Amino acid sequence: MIKMQSYTTNDTQHIDIVDQYRKWNTRLFTIYWGVFGIYLAYMLLMDLYLRISPIPYGTSDFLLNLVLPVSCVLVLLSAGHILFVKAAIRWQPFTQACYVLSVFIVQCSIIVGFYYPYYLLYVLYIGPIILSVIYMDKKIINFTCIACIIAYIITLIGFILPLGNPDKIGWSPNRLFTAFTLLICGYIIARIIFVRISEAVDIAVTLSFEKERLRRELDRDPFTRLFNHIAFYGHLDNHILRAQSEQLVFSLVIMDIDDFKRINDNFGHDIGDVVLLKLVETITGEIGEKDLAFRFGGEEFVVLCADNLNSAYQLAERIRKRFGAHVFMQLDSNNVTVSIGVCEYDNSFGGRREFFSAADKALYRAKKEGKNKTIATEGIYEISV
């Protein structure tokens, strides 16, 4: 159900809800005019039938049975629609819904009041109650049911009984009770539909959130909580597409912890995990808001830097120096170093494989030249320290 507190907590959401209500209310007025068209066609056919039948039918009957009820419904719909168009934009969604449904209820009352066959009392007022379900608000359903009962009583006492002979129109206390019971049944049906739709929506929303949560979990490395290599390729493809279509500038930073296997072998994997988490802390502490960090695999990490080669190189150097300066007490107060390769994307690369390979070759060269080193490459040009 749409709750009223959302109107004050989020202006954008409030505007969306108001727009949704106005669209539905506009559709309902279209339906009302359709109902009026059907009613008018029926009344014209009845008028034609009475004119050619042997039943006495004069001008007064024509005015009372056709002109007057049709005119009342026409005036009601016209005035109601014009008022809605002019004033509804300033109304709260709940007020809009109650107003539009009230117009329909009065329309039903006019039809029943002038035509007054008892079977219309059985079904006509159920329409607004069932229709109120589209707003998915139990307060609106409750309002509509109460309004229909009041309109039913007023129509019966104020129009049908004074204007027609109860025996002639087929009215009896038993039928009165039947019509009232059907109204209550219509309300119960509306509430059941409301509950079932609410449950279905809740299930759909829950499944959607769960699907999104699972998708996020699939994109994350369970140990470091960074994006994993699967997510990396998706983000890399997106960056390349944006670089080709929007001239996005970005660079790739690949880093690998030096001699990590020796750390695991000599000190155990628990200590190796401490080293990994320290590097993750260093990376996340240095990258910018638009940068993305990934655990590519094992002790290898990747950063998609939303900047040019020089900025990415400076980022890599900050990570390398900060991580290398940390003293690990678990490693007998020794330091751990990291080697890094950096490459900026440009359209000369054939695709992600060639681009990644260029950065990976820069990393390989940093390892080969003594480790604890950053090498940046731009095509065939390299900068190293």
pLDDT of residue 9: 42
Beta bridge partners of 29: none
Q: Is the pLDDT of residue 168 over 50?
A: no
Window from 2-6, 27-31, 70-74, 357-361 with minimum mean pLDDT? 2-6
187 residue type, one letter:
Y
User: Rounded to the nearest 5°, which phi and psi values hold at 256?
Assistant: -140, 130
Q: Looking at residues 162-167, what average pLDDT do you find?
A: 53
Closest listed residue to residue 228, CA positions, set 179, 298, 275, 285: 298
pLDDT of residue 325: 96
Q: Is the pLDDT of residue 7 over 80?
A: no
% pLDDT > 70, the chain: 86
Q: Looking at residues 55-81, what average pLDDT do you find?
A: 81
pLDDT of residue 47: 79
Q: Is the pLDDT of residue 37 over 80?
A: yes
Q: Is the pLDDT of residue 86 over 60?
A: yes
Q: Looking at residues 337-353, what average pLDDT do you find?
A: 92
Confidence of residue 320 (pLDDT cuts 50, 70, 90): very high
CB 88 within 8 A of CB 103: no
Q: What topology does CATH give the domain 229-384? A: Alpha-Beta Plaits (3.30.70)
CB 97 within 8 A of CB 21: yes
How many whole angstroms separate alpha carbon 360 and alpha carbon 348? 17
Whether the model pTM is above 0.85: no
Window from 206-215, 276-285, 324-333 with minimum mean pLDDT? 206-215
Closest listed residue to residue 71, CA positions, set 121, 18, 107: 107
Residue 253: exposure state from Cβ atoms within 10 A (0-12, 13-18, ≥19):
buried
* pLDDT tens column, 189-221: 999 998 988 888 889 888 888 888 787 778 899
CB 1 within 8 A of CB 137: yes
pLDDT of residue 81: 87
* pLDDT tens column, 87-118: 777 788 888 888 888 888 888 887 777 765 55
% pLDDT > 90, the chain: 39
User: Rounded to the nearest 5°, which phi and psi values hold at 220?
Assistant: -110, 145
Residue 365: exposure state from Cβ atoms within 10 A (0-12, 13-18, ≥19):
middle
CA angle 122, 130, 158 (to 5 degrees): 45
3 state SS for 225-239: CCECHHHHHHHHHHH
Cite the residue boundaries of each domain of the chain with CATH code 3.30.70.270. Answer: 229-384
pLDDT of residue 15: 54
Q: Is the pLDDT of residue 237 over 90?
A: yes
Distance of CA 60 to CAs 42, 47, 64, 109, Å? Answer: 19, 12, 6, 22
Highest-pLDDT range among 20-24, 72-76, 182-186, 336-340: 336-340
Confidence of residue 1 (pLDDT cuts 50, 70, 90): very low
Distance from the Cα of residue 199 to its chain's centroid? 16
112's tokens: 């029943």
Q: Is the pLDDT of residue 128 over 70?
A: yes
